[in-house]
Amino acid sequence: MLEVVGLSKRFRHHRTAAVADLSFRVAPGEIVGLIGLNGAGKSTTIRAAIGVSLPSAGDVLVDGLSITHQKASASRALGWVPESPVHDANRRLGQLLRYYSRMAGPDARGRPLDALADWGILPYSDRPFRTLSMGERKRFALAVATLRDPTYYLLDEVFNGLDPAGVAQVREWMLAQRRERHGVLASSHQLRELQALADRFVAVHEGRLIGEFSADAIPVSTQSRLQIVFRPIDDAGVTLLRSFGEVERTSNGVSVTGKSLDAAAINRALVQAGYNVARLEATDPDLEAHFLELVRSQR
Amino acid sequence: MNRFLSDLYHHLSAPSIVLVLLLLVVGSGALVASESSRSFSESFSLTVTYSSEYEFAYYVFDGSGLPVGGVAVSVSLHPANSSGPTVGSASGTTSTDGLATLDIAAPDRNYTVDYSVASGPRYYGFGLRHLAPGAIRTFGAIAPVEVGDFALTPYVLLAFPAPGGGVISGLSAGYYIHEPNSSTNLSGALGSLTAVPQRVHIPIAGGVPSGSILTVIVTNGTGAVIASFSQNAENPPGAEGPGGNVLLNWIWAMQFLGLTAATLIGYLGYARERVAGTLEPLLALPMDRLRIPVVRFVSSIAVLAIGVTASTAFLVYWLDRAFAIETPAVLVGTVWAGAMAEGMALVGVVFLISHLVRSYAAVLSVGLTLTVAFSLLWRGLTDWAAAQYGVPATVWSSMRWQGQVGVLSPTNAALNPVEWSLRLTAPGGSQLLAIDPSPIVAGLAMLLWALLPFAGALWLARWRD
């Protein structure tokens, strides 16, 4: 079990704590989404949990081992993908990975370059780190994190910068980790991705825990939204849709937000009015809505 | 491969570290090359009371006091204190025992003697004697190779080219130092001489103050005077040995190169990565927080050792190649240890600073500033100590400049890691203060000095991000 226990972190010269008395758990075989606005303390929490940053108070226990006082042992069960991976800019990827592998000790896999192959960047092994794109850097960070086989992965905005193929690969990899009884703590602003993956969510705001709930317990929103593409888009059509909810023009259509929208009724009304409906898509704003509701409740 | 070796390899494979090592090695090498290719020639003047009963004895020796044969020498006589017409002259070539005997026919009176050695690839020491035959002639020339101004160790190194190159032993000596500004003179027994073939090394506590007259009297086992010499310590006529200056120049160069290199090694090995955040991937690995600075410090010191060792090797080569000076292993070892201690302290300071500020420029500038501040602090402390014991500022300054006072710090002006002692001797000769720790205590003190900044860095690494 990965346990964040009363974690607080206060930076020098800062008035308020970046993280204040935060507690939650991540169990093996579980994906936990860490969600929050910018500056909420997600990265600070993950950095303290991995042992890169020292907590001002509280602790992080990894299978009962303190990351503060038993770091070497506790870190054996942790892998980290930082939000913005930073490595020696002039070193080649192969050099860096072999170095980290040796420094990781006996837990590291025997063929470190296999990790580059796993994440599709083996052809870049002779390239200096500075030449990588953001997505390639994130893939390299994933390769470093998977040099060993830790019980828990701490992923900080892991989807940022990845191309669609990369996002899909990370998604599949996270699900595989869950199947193999690894615990994953993932922070992200891409709530739809997280909602599709996570078993539970930890919501933080201004460094404090504002909610902890399972994916099943996300309340069904009273508001729903439809993305509609129809032709021609004219004022009459927009006026027609306003009878169902609030309408906003988008780049190629409109979005309709309202209480318990009936997609079939809207489609029928548009067709009967002579419009051609090219696409009608219901978005699922539940996690986002619930999170924003939690944030609003703090104000 | 264990983590230390991995990190050392990581260090040594960094282009920037290779550049720093090149700075040390090429810098030292350039120093050697520039001096080795130099051609020397020198001339001096001496006023003598000429006696036609005995000839001029010209002696030439190398930096180790060994005789040098085959060197062209010349002597000319002029009216005393005048560069007027030459009364007589002679020239010759030194024999294998480094001596050339030159006869000049001239009336007995006071003359100014001009004497010189020909240009050559090496800077030899040389001297001229015009004394009654007997004592000196028995042993050939007696010459001070280095006196006083050799900053590392105050001593007199005498050349005793024995007949047939034999070993001189069983001698004892006394010394007598006259300071013109003082009514009292320093004197004392030197004890038994440590004799090695044709060289005698006489350590003199407190050294020979600048401007004083040093007389060394060498006696045999029965107390009979068998050799003596007397000279002005500040300007020994015709007998300047280059070794001390050579070593001092190298030390100054090393101090500059070493300070720069140590700062850069500490910066590249740890501080830069701390500021940039590239140590964080290591921090996430299964190792203790303190292991990273420890491993980085050890590998930084290993890199430093490579540079200092290479540079020291150049020094030994330089002294031998350019001046035929045989460098004692103990001296080389202590210079090496002193440079390492200085470097370790500075690397530690840079590590320490990187835990206090997060700026590349600040780490470098604050590290260098602190190093200078430490040096000034030690200087201030020693000045204060000297004042407390009533040592005049001018005397104190002169003593310190000439390396005749070891200060309890490796950062004094003479970079004296050997002494680790504080000895203050009043101009009148009385010992005011003597702190001479044992080699073990001195070594521990040096180690403490070398490791203290790093210990501070470790303390910060334990408690701060």
Q: Which residues of A touch B6 (CB under 8 A)?
A: 99, 102-103
Model confidence at B250, pLDDT cuts 50, 70, 90, reads low
d(CA A164, nearest CA chain B) in Å: 26
Beta bridge mates, A247: A256
- Higher-pLDDT residue of A183, B434: A183
The answer to whether B355 touches B460, Cβ cutoff 8 Å, is yes
Question: Span B213-225, mean pLDDT?
Answer: 53
What is the phi-psi region of residue B100: left when phi exceeds 0, alpha when psi lies from -120 to 50, beta otherwise? beta
Q: What is the pLDDT of residue B134?
A: 30
- Higher-pLDDT residue of A127, B230: A127
Report whether pLDDT(B399) > 70. Answer: no
Nearest Cα residue in chain A from B3: A103
Biggest alpha carbon–alpha carbon distance for chain A: 71
Q: What is the pLDDT of residue B446?
A: 76
Integer-rounded Cα radius of gyration of chain A: 23
CB proximity A149 to B under 8 Å: no
The answer to whether the Cβ–Cβ distance between B284 and A99 falls below 8 Å is no
- Higher-pLDDT residue of B173, B238: B173
The answer to whether the Cβ–Cβ distance between A103 and B7 falls below 8 Å is yes
Model confidence at A74, pLDDT cuts 50, 70, 90, reads very high
What is the phi-psi region of residue A6: left when phi exceeds 0, alpha when psi lies from -120 to 50, beta otherwise? left
Q: Is the pTM of this model over 0.80?
A: no
The answer to whether the Cβ–Cβ distance between B285 and A73 falls below 8 Å is no
The answer to whether the Cβ–Cβ distance between B289 and A87 falls below 8 Å is no
Contacts 24+ apart (CB under 8 A), A169-176: A169/A119, A169/A120, A170/A142, A171/A196, A171/A197, A173/A142, A174/A31, A175/A31
Query: Beta strand B422-425 with B194-196: parallel, antiparallel or unpaired?
Result: unpaired
Report whether pLDDT(B339) > 90. Answer: no
Report whether pLDDT(B229) > 60. Answer: no
Q: Which residues of B touch A90 (CB under 8 A)?
A: 14-15
Residue range B120-169, pLDDT digits in tens: 655 566 667 665 443 222 223 334 433 333 223 344 545 444 433 333 44
The answer to whether B289 touches B332, Cβ cutoff 8 Å, is no
Q: What is the pLDDT of residue B443?
A: 73
Q: Which residues of B touch A (CB under 8 A)?
A: 1, 3, 6-7, 10, 13-15, 273, 276-278, 280-289, 291, 463-465
Nearest Cα residue in chain A from B462: A54
Residue range B280-293, pLDDT digits in tens: 999 999 988 898 89
Find the CB nearest B278 among A78, A86, A104. A86
Question: Span B369-382, mean pLDDT?
Answer: 65
Q: Which residues of B touch A102 (CB under 8 A)?
A: 1, 3, 6
How many H helices and E strands in chain B?
A: 11, 17
Contacts 24+ apart (CB under 8 A), B18-22: B20/B261, B20/B264, B20/B265, B20/B268, B20/B303, B20/B307, B21/B261, B21/B303, B21/B306, B21/B307, B21/B310
Mutate to test the interface with B, among A53, A66, A95, A102 (most CBs of B within 10 A): A102
Cα A259 to Cα B124: distance, rounded to the nearest angstrom:
104
Report whether pLDDT(A124) > 60. Answer: yes
Report whether pLDDT(B85) > 80. Answer: yes
- Give DSSP secondary structure letters for B277-308: TTTHHHHTSSS-TTHHHHHHHHHHHHHHHHHH
Cα B67 to Cα B430: distance, rounded to the nearest angstrom:
38
Model confidence at A60, pLDDT cuts 50, 70, 90, reads very high
Cα A126 to Cα A119: distance, rounded to the nearest angstrom:
15
A91: Cα separation from own chain's centroid: 29
Report whether pLDDT(B437) > 70. Answer: no
Mean pLDDT of chain A: 88
- Higher-pLDDT residue of B168, A236: A236
Q: What is the pLDDT of residue A220?
A: 58
Cα A62 to Cα A74: distance, rounded to the nearest angstrom:
6
Q: What is the pLDDT of residue B255?
A: 60
CB proximity A107 to B under 8 Å: yes
d(CA A2, nearest CA chain B) in Å: 15
- Picking from A39-53, A96-110, B58-72, B397-411, which range would have the lowest pLDDT averaged per residue? B397-411
Model confidence at B240, pLDDT cuts 50, 70, 90, reads very low
Report whether pLDDT(B433) > 80. Answer: no
d(CA A41, nearest CA chain B) in Å: 16
- What does the block give as tokens for B91? 């020239």
Find the CB nearest A72 among B6, B288, B465. B288
Find the CB nearest B284 among A50, A73, A102. A50
The answer to whether the Cβ–Cβ distance between B287 and A105 falls below 8 Å is yes
Q: What is the pLDDT of residue B382?
A: 57
Question: Span B313-335, mean pLDDT?
Answer: 68
Model confidence at A249, pLDDT cuts 50, 70, 90, reads confident
Mean pLDDT of chain B: 65
Model confidence at B420, pLDDT cuts 50, 70, 90, reads very low
The answer to whether the Cβ–Cβ distance between B6 and A99 falls below 8 Å is yes
- What does the block give as tokens for B113? 């003697």
Class of residue B58 by CB neighbours under 10 A (exposed 0-12, middle 13-18, buried 19+): buried
Mutate to test the interface with B, among A9, A44, A52 (most CBs of B within 10 A): A52
